[in-house]
Amino acid sequence: MEVDALTIVLTIAIAAVLAFVKLNKSEPDIHPLLLEQQASVAPLRGEGESAIHRAKSVPAGSSLVKVPLERIRTLHDVWQNGLAANPTGRCLMFMLQNQFSYINESYEHVDRRIGGFGTGFMTETKLKPRTETPVGIYAPYSQESFVAQQAFYRYGFVAVPIHDLRSSELLIEIVNQTKMKAIVVAQKALPLLLQSLKDCTSIKTIFVSAIYISEEQKRIAAQHGARILKFAEVEYNGTLDALDAVKPEPSDIAMINYNTKSTSLSKGVVLTHANLVAAMTGFTGSLPGAKKFTSKDRLLSHFTNGDVIGTWMTSAMVMAGGSIVFPSGLMKNVLHDSQATTPTIFASTPIILEKIHEALDTTYGAGSSFKKAFASKLALLDAGRVTTTSLWDFIGLGEVRSRLGGKVRLVVTTNPTKPETLKYIRAAMGIHVMTTYGRTETSGIVTSRNMFDYSNDAHLGAPVSCNEIKLADDPERRYTSADQPNPRGEILVRGPNVMKGYYKKPNATATNIDSDGWFHTGEWGSFNANGTLEVLGKKKKAKTDKAPSSPVQEESKE
């Protein structure tokens, strides 16, 4: 059978038209009716308070979610699940000191490192496992801090992350409150620690992630009764005869997290394994089925692995057997880090996302092809669609998307992120965004915004499945549950993600967590008609501060 040239041309033309229509279809990613009610609202409410709001998956009368699977009840279990899921697959990506290329380590390799450091740590410090002994981690943006933290989970120690590497006052107060005897330190933080040792007399052993330690540094440490050891050497020695895990219980303390944005660090938030596993489960439960993390995913996070948000974010990736990138930590390298490692999940603070938006807009925004492509993608966004397969993605926006490595499918951030930045990420880059709201006391999460909700509304999303929320009347502010059109009041949260309490502060704990288990956030909020939460402000005499973020540092601060 012969086919003439005209038939071939017509067939190609029809195929091209059909492809164009398919690539530029404007059907929404989710039916709009599904966004009209995003929470399950209890039918009854108490006097002086709103109805209790929950995730739609856990309506009133059902149990709040605590664990992803019955076998995963601690952060040690999370690691074991990832190891079993992807033993030979890539786990960590990081740069060695003074080098510019990333190296990779498999789950099996990192597992040996975890056992090695944990064993070496106990050998050198003579500290006993599962005694809830606090150990400092003064090393953000570090693969060593990840290994150390996993080792502490494995052998039952309590991680105390110290986020701010520039304030000796914060360091001294945390060390003295917890009376920590050992600390893991980044090389750049060692000088400040040594300077502070005269006021940190409990510290006896310092593990430094450094290639070189000077004799002068050793002398200063010895002068104050402390030893300095190289992290890598301790880890290697421990691998020669690694000890079996001393498995923690869900009720064991995993972390004491201090809010270093406060002027006074009077409250360390005590978080158990159960708290952090519940928070991780609440977050992963908010991801649609097709968007859940898998072993093929790679996380680049600008929340440190010591920050409570970073903890459940990396835990979610580990549980799936995916890989984790440790970026350079310099603002000028944010785009380079992403291009070099091609992550699929990009977790970052609002300020970093806004700076990325500003930089890309400066580079591409004036071009006529970009303007046409962006306007067309904005029209698709307004129609409820985020895509990377429209005609404009191939013509004018491919290079913009490639600036984050070209493979990012989800950006995770916190509130408040500017609406124009969110629009840019969704339209120009074709990437879905999930924003979360949380407090340190709630393990860093309370609500998450539906990733298919592209509206400009200021709400923070609906409750995640591990907690429930209600509003309590505030007569002084004249906020009440009877307010129209939406109830208003102080935001109260209850669930397995709510902290055990403040470290050695029983009175502060009792003040902020009432007898029914509700944590009083000290923030005002309102419930919208669709069940989402909106924060209206912070009470002047707030009982606690917000969970800290850990933004990438400017180069001048290094």
From first CA to last CA, the distance across the chain in angstroms is 73
pLDDT score recorded for residue 10? 57
Closest CA to 535 of 428, 461, 451, 440: 461
Instruction: With H, G, I as helix, E, B as strand and everything else as coil, classify residue 62.
Output: coil
Distance CA 317, CA 82 (A): 8
- 86 — phi, psi (to 5°)? -150, 60
Alpha-carbon torsion angle 62, 66, 71, 77, nearest 10: 170
Are β-strands 90-95 and 323-325 bridged in parallel, bridged antiparallel, or unpaired? parallel
* pTM for this predicted structure: 0.91
- pLDDT tens digits for range 143-174: 999 999 999 999 999 999 988 777 788 899 99
CA 392 – CA 384 distance, rounded (Å): 17
Q: Which of 385, 383, 410, 378 is nearest to 29 (CA)?
A: 385
pLDDT along the chain (558 residues), means of 10: 58 51 66 90 93 96 97 98 97 77 93 98 96 91 91 97 82 94 94 96 95 94 97 97 95 88 67 98 95 96 83 96 91 91 96 96 92 94 93 88 95 92 96 95 96 92 98 94 95 98 94 96 96 91 44 40
What amino acid is encoded at 449 in this protein? Answer: R
- Give the SS3 label for residue 535: strand
Q: What is the pLDDT of residue 304?
A: 77
Backbone angles phi, psi at 208, to 5 degrees: -110, 130
pLDDT at position 553? 46
Contact predicate 32/385, CB 8 Å: no
* Per-residue pLDDT, 98: 55
The span from the CA of 52 to the CA of 43, in Å, is 8
What pLDDT, on the 0 to 100 scale, is given for residue 76? Answer: 98
**CA dihedral sign, ordered 432, 27, 40, 489:** positive
Q: What would the two tokens of residue 191 be?
A: 């000088």
Buried b (16+ CB within 10 A) or exposed e, 345-374: bbbbbbbbbbbbbeebbeebeeeeebeebb
